[in-house]
Amino acid sequence: MTLLGAAEIRELAAALELKPSKSLGQNFVHDANTCRKIVRIAELTTDDVALEIGPGLGSLTLAMLEEAREVIAVEIDSRLATQLPITAAKHADTPEKLTVVNQDALTLKDLPAEPTVLIANLPYNVSVPVFLHLLEIFPTLRSGVVMVQAEVADRLAAKPNSKEYGIPSVKAAWWADVAGAGSVSRSIFWPQPNVDSKLVGFKRRPTPGDEILRKKVFSIIDLAFAQRRKMLRSALSSMYGGSAAAEEVLTAAGIDPTLRGEALDIHAFCAIAKQG
């Protein structure tokens, strides 16, 4: 198997007359070592059905095909989705392991097989909603590694009482343990982005409640962080019909009503939601 280097990426882009789209976050990796490293960190095995979002020209896809039982790649850009099986046939030893789905990842509801591991260099402008959507709709996804903008990576992996902690961190924590998994140099991308990227790893764990509780918890989280500087009793007042009522709910949940959302972990948000 030969992975894609700078020359192959340039060649493929030229053949497709591809002008990378900013709005689709098209920055392609042209470094085989980075692709193999990501797959190694994700601990892909021959039992895994690996899901990739935004395979682009196939840099990571080829590295995934070396290890997984099956690879499902979801790409929104039909030119790239059409080219990918051709690239796999040329470079991979087992191209038949690849299934390409030409779709917007945000609208995914199901896939040809149940994915077990996620590996993706996510398009920067939808990285958080795509990540949360996948955790929600594919309970079989047990772990994974995604590459995102450094700032987004820090937010996803943040813990309470840090300035990066916010909606993405606490919502992701409903589904999984999320942690930083290293930095990636800008020089491995074509075109080179203006921001740094980082890797984020996740491991799923049992959720703290059912879907009814999750929806309630997520609404509380949205309100708690809508105005970060507000104390919880006032941030949640619209939900409970006034700040005195909100204070009662918070006290009953064992939470100091003068705290701000940034002080609460996912379990504390669940305690509030369970008050009804």
Sites of contact with ligand SAM (CB under 6 A): 24-29, 53-57, 59-60, 74-77, 80, 104-106, 121, 123, 126
Nearer to ligand SAM by C-beta: 27 or 237?
27
Measured CA to CA, the distance from residue 258 to residue 252 in angstroms comes to 14
Least distance to ligand SAM, CB of residue 9, Å = 8
Cα 19 off chain centre by? 25
Measured CA to CA, the distance from residue 35 to residue 129 in angstroms comes to 23
Least distance to ligand SAM, CB of residue 237, Å = 36
Nearer to ligand SAM by C-beta: 34 or 237?
34
Amino acid at 211: E
Amino acid at 161: N
Pairing of strands 98-102, 28-29: unpaired
How large is the C-alpha radius of gyration of the chain?
21
Least distance to ligand SAM, CB of residue 179, Å = 21
Measured CA to CA, the distance from residue 122 to residue 135 in angstroms comes to 14
Nearer to ligand SAM by C-beta: 53 or 232?
53
Nearer to ligand SAM by C-beta: 190 or 269?
190
Question: How many Cβ atoms from other residues are within 10 Å of residue 167's Cβ?
Answer: 17
Measured CA to CA, the distance from residue 158 to residue 177 in angstroms comes to 11
Least distance to ligand SAM, CB of residue 98, Å = 13
Nearer to ligand SAM by C-beta: 94 or 103?
103
- 101 neighbors 52 (Cβ within 8 angstroms): no
Nearer to ligand SAM by C-beta: 74 or 173?
74
Least distance to ligand SAM, CB of residue 187, Å = 14
Task: Tell me the β-bridge partners of 118.
Answer: 51, 144
DSSP state of 110: -
Nearer to ligand SAM by C-beta: 57 or 173?
57
- 39 neighbors 119 (Cβ within 8 angstroms): yes
Least distance to ligand SAM, CB of residue 208, Å = 28
Least distance to ligand SAM, CB of residue 180, Å = 19
Comparing CA positions, the residue from 59, 68, 159, 52 lying closest to residue 100 is 52
Comparing CA positions, the residue from 219, 153, 215 lying closest to residue 183 is 153
